[in-house]
Amino acid sequence: MNDHDDGTGGLSAEFHALRPRLVGVAYGLLGSVDEAEDVVQDAWLRLRAATAGRAGGSGGESEGESGGEGAEEIRDVAAWLVVTVSRLALDVLRSARHRREEYVGPWLPEPVLGPPAGSDPADRVTLDESMSMAMLVVLESLSPAERTAFVLHDVFGLTFAEVGEAVGRSPAACRQLAARARSHVASRAPRFDVDPSEHRRVVRAFARACGGDDMDALLALLDPDVVFRSDGGGVVGAARNPVLGADKVARLLLGVRRFGETRMIPAVVNGWPGLLRIRDGRLDAVIGMAVSGGRITEVDMVMNPDKLIRVRRVTGLAEGDTRKAR
């Protein structure tokens, strides 16, 4: 092993350094930070168990195993953890598919916001810029194995041999899985050929148009074929089906203001400029958008309160607090 003869101290330090990336991998597969963190914690416990017989370096009995028998020599802790996290996340993803099929209305991923300054790096989630809200929606349409092959190889750069360890298939089979996933994603995923500053400009113009009840300005920003999805989880009122077309989406966005005044606050949502919506003094939605050609092609609005708990904690926005998100 890599200098881990000091018990779990060295392992712990290495694990905590890798943790943001590991949570990012699991989140890319699951779309839930809570589930991702549970998977990463499980992987840590398995790592400790796998190395327990060697931690003391004495070759004596450890936890009932004579002479360290059953202990595993792990030469590359990072690779072992990524593969283990991926395997565990795949198991969770398979079991979650039925629950998500029974979900009330569109299922959207739990939003991840940029961390506030001064936060503990170990508490952050390392996201590739491709893991936008819109991309994660597309990934939901893949089979668990296809999604895992695509995320691990195309997003996080694992070899197909490593992907095979996670998926339980040969490298050649994983190559085919990734190719099918890549083709599907290419046909459905939003294009991110816009500069982040241009994306930010469009998002802020969208916020002004919504805040000013400016139908003409809003229509000018929305692509004619824009898709709007809202996730209330059956807990709060939200559209039960995607809304299609600029006119319908604009009327919906401006019509909801009759339920109370709203304010939009800029924030980084899954690596891209997005918005937090404040209604009657409390955070009630996180909005991610896809922009192409200077127009908004997709709007994803997460309203399920269970998916906003972490956002309130990360941003410091609580009820009655409308400070700018950090």
Domain membership of residue 267 (yes or no) is yes
Domain membership of residue 323 (yes or no) is no
Q: What is the per-residue pLDDT across 57-116, written as a single tens digit (0 to 9) for each?
A: 444 443 434 344 455 678 889 999 999 999 999 999 998 877 887 888 899 999 998 765
Tokens of 99: 């629950």
Residue 45 identity: L
Decide which of 139, 163, 188 is a domain's last residue.
188
Decide which of 148, 166, 188 is a domain's last residue.
188
Tokens of 151: 């995320």
pLDDT over 90 (residue 318): no
Mean pLDDT of the chain: 84
Please tell me the predicted confidence (pLDDT) of residue 53: 58
CA distances from 69 to 61, 62, 136 (A): 8, 9, 42
Same domain membership, residue 116 and residue 64: yes
Same domain membership, residue 29 and residue 173: yes
| Cα radius of gyration rounded to whole Å, the chain | 22
Same domain membership, residue 96 and residue 33: yes
**If you average pLDDT over residues 258-262, what whole number do you get?**
73
pLDDT over 60 (residue 24): yes
Tokens of 130: 């491709």
Q: How many residues does the chain have?
A: 326
Q: Any idea which residue has 């269970």 for tokens?
A: 306
Cα 57 from chain centroid?
39
Domain membership of residue 96 (yes or no) is yes
Decide which of 188, 215, 237 is a domain's last residue.
188
Same domain membership, residue 132 and residue 17: yes
Please tell me the predicted confidence (pLDDT) of residue 28: 94
Q: What is the per-residue pLDDT across 193-250, written as a single tens digit (0 to 9) for each?
A: 668 889 999 999 999 999 888 999 999 999 999 999 999 998 888 889 999 999 999 9
Please tell me the predicted confidence (pLDDT) of residue 4: 44
Domain membership of residue 41 (yes or no) is yes
Same domain membership, residue 17 and residue 159: yes
Of 41-50, 241-250, 276-285, least confident by mean pLDDT is 276-285
pLDDT over 50 (residue 276): yes
Range of the domain at 307: 196-315
Domain membership of residue 292 (yes or no) is yes
Please tell me the predicted confidence (pLDDT) of residue 104: 86
The continuous run of DSSP H or E covering 313 comes out as helix 309-315
Instruction: Locate the DSSP E strands across 185-242.
Output: 222-231
Side-by-side strand order, sheet with 262-269: 243-244, 222-231, 295-302, 282-292, 272-279, 262-269
CATH number at 109 reads 1.20.140.160
CA distance 290 to 273: 9
Domain membership of residue 1 (yes or no) is no
Smallest CA-to-CA distance from 219 within 254, 201, 246, 200 is with 246
CA distances from 68 to 3, 77, 84 (A): 17, 19, 21
Smallest CA-to-CA distance from 263 within 272, 251, 275, 274 is with 275
Same domain membership, residue 47 and residue 169: yes
CATH number at 223 reads 3.10.450.50
Contacts of 109 (CB under 8 A, 6+ apart): 27, 31, 32, 133, 136, 137, 270, 302
Please tell me the predicted confidence (pLDDT) of residue 8: 60
Which is it for strands 222-231 and 243-244: parallel, antiparallel or unpaired?
A: antiparallel
